[in-house]
Amino acid sequence: MQGEKLLYLNYHHIMLDFVSIGKIRAIYILSIVNEGMEIKIIKREKHGKGEIYTIKVKEEFIKILFLFHAIERMKKWGIKESMVLETLIFPEEVLKGHGNRYIAHRRYGEHLVRSIYEYEDYTPVLITVYFPYLNRYFAGGGIYEDKIFKGS
């Protein structure tokens, strides 16, 4: 991956990727090994509705279906899959949405990744994602109406 670097900091491995989203330029942490917690993509599988990501966090394997619409929104907003996965697995807050949907938030500078998901047969399904200004939706953190990864 272009721009990828590996640093060693306090005996933790941190992989950085330099991203540019619109006028925002930021350093994004792709993978963090911190207290044994790392998000690792094991495989991607095609699905009739999108793409299934199998990830590993600690010793737990989690499957998440990214709908085609969500994948298109990631491209439109310039949001990397690693940012979305981090938002879903290590959110700063998860709010209740309409119906059976949840909204996971994670801050990136003055913006936040806003990932809307629901469950289909116990599998998290990413419906859509976007990158609005932080002050529009962020409720302050610490609210967890749901957690995909229970160990966080």
| Global confidence as pTM | 0.77
Nearest partner of 149 among 60, 67, 53, 44, judged by Cα: 60
Domains of the chain (ranges, CATH numbers)? 38-137 (3.30.2310)
What's the order of all strands across the beta sheet hosting 12-21? 5-9, 12-21, 24-32
Q: Which helix (H) or strand (E) holds 88?
A: helix 81-89
| 28-57 pLDDT tens trace | 344 444 345 789 999 999 999 999 999 999
| 77-129 pLDDT tens trace | 999 999 999 999 999 999 999 999 999 999 999 999 999 999 999 999 999 99
- Cα 96–chain centre separation: 17
